[in-house]
Amino acid sequence: MTVLFLAHTECDGTLAKVSLETLTAAKALADGMGAELAVGLVGADVAAAADSIAACGGTFFAVTGPAYNEGLYSTDIAAAEAIAKACSAEIVVAPATSRYSRALPGLAIRLGGRVDTHLSGLNVVDGKPVAKRWFYRQRMEGSFTRDERPWVLTLDAGCAGAFSGAGSADVTAVDADISGVRTRPEGMICVSEDEQTIRPDAEILLVTGAGWTKKQADGEVHVAEAEDSILRFLSATKSSLGSSKSLVDISGEGGAVISFLTHMHQVGQTGATPRHAKGLSTCCHGEEPHVVGWRFINERRAINTDAGCGWAQGKCDVLYVGDAFAIMKKVNELLG
Ligand SMILES: Cc1cc2nc3c(=O)[nH]c(=O)nc-3n(C[C@H](O)[C@H](O)[C@H](O)COP(=O)(O)OP(=O)(O)OC[C@H]3O[C@@H](n4cnc5c(N)ncnc54)[C@H](O)[C@@H]3O)c2cc1C
């Protein structure tokens, strides 16, 4: 029996952290089931990536060439299919990157198998593979298995330690059939670190609330100053940016908006539930529908002019009662 760990390289030819984490989980699954581990890599040139994980003990397969750098659905699925068939994979474990979240459900169809996505862990129980995932917006974690094969699984970030173990990998080249692919990519632009403000791996979550766009003590709104202060903090600390629902909704209501916020930033009951070691809330009231999104934020701090705000009701570890404009200005000065 073969467990295939499948990954694509990033723009710079390396493997993403989530891919290294997924390798740890795939290797433990193969070891626990007494199965062979196969490693399938896809990209323009995977030699460096293969060497970076050579010590995992798997048999390496790769589909390479310029066409596989761009992450098209059609080329990704063709490459994945060719590798899965080359090693007769019964279980395929891949990272839940945007590329593979899009392509691998289709792989399961092509192989006549089943797929489960966004898993939070893999286990072996009585020799059988068992997958774990969250249900009901991360309130319950469930375990399940399937008898159908091939079983294609994608693992979310942060659910295993990143594999490390470099060496010299012996890679078998596999050909994929992309003769029927009609889409021609014009090129690829990788988002720079400063443009990408949702950073799941960041230590700190900075949450912005509607207060940033409200009239302040002088009777004026100061949105430009707010944007500058928020961006300076993000740039200096590489924190992840989150928002209250009120602030991301303001654009639809014609109010002054923070230009770089989208609904993807919303934290809370109807938003995201991110995981970070620390969180700092600014100009956000801390109402329950927002704070439920902080379930996995370990140390919580908030800045609010109102000493009776929601955060003060036992929802944060430290509440700074003060003006976030002044406090964040000082914090940014200290950060340099
Ligand atoms: C079914 C349902 C689902 C919801 N889901 C979500 C959700 O997923 N996420 C979410 O966020 N909300 C959600 N909400 C909305 C939520 O209840 C609140 O309305 C929202 O979080 C309020 O956003 P806010 O705190 O930014 O704005 P406000 O309530 O307007 O609070 C602004 C805060 O800024 C403070 N402030 C103003 N100026 C300053 C300053 N200079 N310095 C410091 N503080 C200042 C004020 O004191 C105030 O506390 C939901 C509501 C419902 C009914």
Domain assignment present for 284: yes
Write down which residue in 158, 173, 188 finishes a domain: 173
The residue range of the domain holding 218 is: 204-335
Write down which residue in 173, 195, 229 finishes a domain: 173
CB 45, CB 121: distance < 8 Å? no
Pocket test for ligand 1, best of 218, 291, 305 (most atoms within 8 A of CB): 305
Task: Compute, in angstroms, the gap from residue 290 CA to the centroid of ligand 1.
Answer: 7
Do 162 and 114 lie in one domain? The reply is: yes
State CA 273 to chain mean position distance: 12
Do 26 and 156 lie in one domain? The reply is: yes
Domain assignment present for 54: yes
Do 238 and 99 lie in one domain? The reply is: no
Task: Give the CA dihedral 283, 287, 289, 292, nearest 10 degrees.
Answer: 80
pLDDT in tens, 311-328: 999 999 999 999 999 999
Residue 110 in 3-state DSSP? helix
Domain assignment present for 198: no
Do 30 and 127 lie in one domain? The reply is: yes
Domain assignment present for 45: yes
Do 161 and 215 lie in one domain? The reply is: no
pLDDT in tens, 154-189: 999 989 999 999 999 999 999 999 999 999 888 777
Q: Find all residues with CB under 8 Å of 28, minimum gap 6, and list them.
A: 122, 124, 160
CATH of the domain at 232: 3.40.50.1220
Do 165 and 211 lie in one domain? The reply is: no
Residues with beta carbon inside 6 Å of ligand 1? 209-211, 214, 216, 244-247, 266-271, 283-285, 287, 289-290, 293, 303-306, 309, 323-325
CATH of the domain at 123: 3.40.50.620
pLDDT of residue 254: 67
pLDDT in tens, 53-110: 999 999 999 999 999 998 999 999 999 999 999 999 999 999 999 999 999 999 999 9
Count: domains in the chain = 2
Write down which residue in 121, 150, 173 finishes a domain: 173
